A and B are shown apart, each in its own frame.
Chain A
């Protein structure tokens, strides 16, 4: 059974940093792309970042480019999101999600983790 467990969230002051992790199990992690999506309290879903199975392709939303950085460790079945220069508007539940299918031909997010909450406040 596929499991994605996100961790690393917490309360951080404006300007601070966090490293979010997502531990995967139940599938061959090195064969799948991964994504991060966030959801501010009471709001909709916002796609943040994509990393291909071999880390050869990385894409990010313009809203976080330069502040957020995605990476992965296939040996340890994990994907990460380094989030820097945090602002109050970054307060959200951050989800990791597995990408299925070809990136250029309709990839979809077939499994999601439970999310990790990031709260930016002084």
Chain B
């Protein structure tokens, strides 16, 4: 079964707005990662946050991790039409780098 659950399942916003996606998981983790997938193609790694970190930034991306609540959020600021994609969280429980993916959020940014 999937480790992670994401919400919302779908999000539609206007260009320039911020987009927030949430991920919850069930077991203790080594790290949590966010990936983007455009139109059923390969995934692109966005950011990794370790279990002892609470917040991380990369460009327009901000990721938070709350291990007490077993949840993470991905914030994309000043969104662009090119950000339209599916976003997945993935957890690594420290067992040979095997990842368990959440259900994903489909983000649509309207120009």
Say whether A and B bind each other.
no
